[in-house]
Amino acid sequence: MILVTTTENIAETIKTVNPTKIAVAYVGSGWEAYLQQSDLKEMVISLRLGTNPHAVCEIIKKIGEDNVYYLDDLHSKIYLGEKSALIGSMNLSANGLGGGRYETGCVISDAKNLQSLNELFSKYKNESTNASSNKGILKLRDLIKEDEKAKINGVFKATKSDKTSIADFEPKIYQGRIHVVGYDENYEIKYNKEELSKLTLGISNYDDFFDDALAVENSGVKVKEFDWLLMWDIANANTEVRWMYVEYVVVNGATNSNDFTTLVGATKNQKLVPKPFDLSKKEVRDVIKKTITKWIERKEIDDDWFVPNNKVIGFLNEIKNKTSC
């Protein structure tokens, strides 16, 4: 047994061990820097708040969702290779391995203990939820939602793993949470201050409070708090599509018309929340706008300018398949 007591040595040891199996409590941004040459085949993770769900998505892309498992009560940190293993206190993240923390590990290379660790890993797998199962998809979906709430409240900061390209975006992870909707940029929201006062926000100027707001129909598409709106301006073909992270849904919060009185709003804090996928590239935005135009021509977008909920996943998959970046 060899004792390893600095994060620099631990990081190098992981590369030497070349793990094919990893079981860790938490995975975070920067994980890939420590496994660049790894022959990683399987991983067991605790899918609880603190694990970065976007890092989990990256791992799924690397080794396949059939080889990723979720075990809620896991606290072990095992990096298991063919000829040796590293066990200790360090999670797979820049926080755990990048210095600044006191971590300790030991290298095991005798056949008896390696066999025991392989048996333990198999036990973890048998008690886990596979990432490809319906339960696994729901667990990751829930963690993404909890991670968003933590970031908008300043509990966690955004990381580079949070910026998801359209190529890495997995629509099914956001099923039921993304709504594709047209809006009129020149349409002025008329706030129902009496109804909004029930939120006890202690404000009077709602134009300043809301960074983005929309009046939606009371029936039909049901937008919920912490959902996402992928929005485009129906009056301007050259407008840029954008995301809104829904922080508030207030029935009768707007007085624009008899039908469109549910207020959907976001504050400036929505900038702290990782978007489902990045819209900064013009190609992505152009594909979205062209796809919207085709869907309108095919009459697959409702009169209220929503893509029907049961067609959103198909719409998002169509965008993903047409985008090269």
Looking at 65-69, 246-250, 298-302, which range is the least confident one?
298-302
Task: Clarify whether residues 242 and 182 are in a common domain.
Answer: yes
Task: Clarify whether residues 135 and 173 are in a common domain.
Answer: no
Q: Tens of pLDDT along 136-163?
A: 999 999 999 999 999 999 898 888 778 8
**Residue that is last in its domain, among 115, 149, 183:** 149
**pLDDT confidence bin for 58, thresholds 50/70/90:** very high
Residue 296 lies in a domain: yes
Residue 154 lies in a domain: no
Q: Rg of the Cα trace of the chain?
A: 23
Looking at 59-68, 102-111, 262-271, 303-312, which range is the least confident one?
303-312
For the chain, percent of residues with pLDDT exceeding 90: 64
CATH number at residue 11: 3.30.870.10
Task: Clarify whether residues 175 and 145 are in a common domain.
Answer: no
The pLDDT of residue 4 is 86
Q: Tens of pLDDT along 260-296?
A: 889 999 999 999 999 999 999 999 999 999 999 899 8
Task: Clarify whether residues 66 and 173 are in a common domain.
Answer: no
Task: Clarify whether residues 8 and 144 are in a common domain.
Answer: yes
Provide the number of structural domains found in the chain: 2
Residue 157 lies in a domain: no
Task: Clarify whether residues 142 and 227 are in a common domain.
Answer: no
Closest alpha carbon to 143 in 44, 57, 29? 57
Residue 44 lies in a domain: yes
Q: CB neighbours of 13 closer than 8 A, spacing ≥ 6?
A: 4, 86, 105, 107
Residue 247 lies in a domain: yes
Task: Clarify whether residues 213 and 134 are in a common domain.
Answer: no
Residue 86 lies in a domain: yes
Range of the domain at 123: 2-149
Residue 11 lies in a domain: yes
Report residue 148 as tokens. 């968003």
Q: Is the pLDDT of residue 37 over 80?
A: no
Residue 162 lies in a domain: no
| pTM summary value | 0.89
CA distance 280 to 283: 9
Task: Clarify whether residues 96 and 6 are in a common domain.
Answer: yes
Q: CB neighbours of 172 closer than 8 A, spacing ≥ 6?
A: 137, 313
The pLDDT of residue 161 is 76
Closest alpha carbon to 312 in 144, 138, 134, 175? 175
Q: Is the pLDDT of residue 38 over 80?
A: no
Task: Clarify whether residues 144 and 181 are in a common domain.
Answer: no
CA torsion sign for 208, 213, 218, 222 is: negative
DSSP at 73: T
The residue-averaged pLDDT of 167-196 equals 90
Strands 262-266 and 248-250: antiparallel
Q: Which amino acid is at 17?
A: V
Burial 107-134 (b: 16+ CB within 10 A, else e): bbeeeeebeebeeebeebbeebbbbeee
Q: Tens of pLDDT along 91-134?
A: 998 877 876 778 889 999 999 999 999 999 999 999 999 999 99
The pLDDT of residue 230 is 96
Task: Clarify whether residues 108 and 196 are in a common domain.
Answer: no
Closest alpha carbon to 141 in 266, 271, 54? 54
**Residue that is last in its domain, among 149, 182, 204:** 149
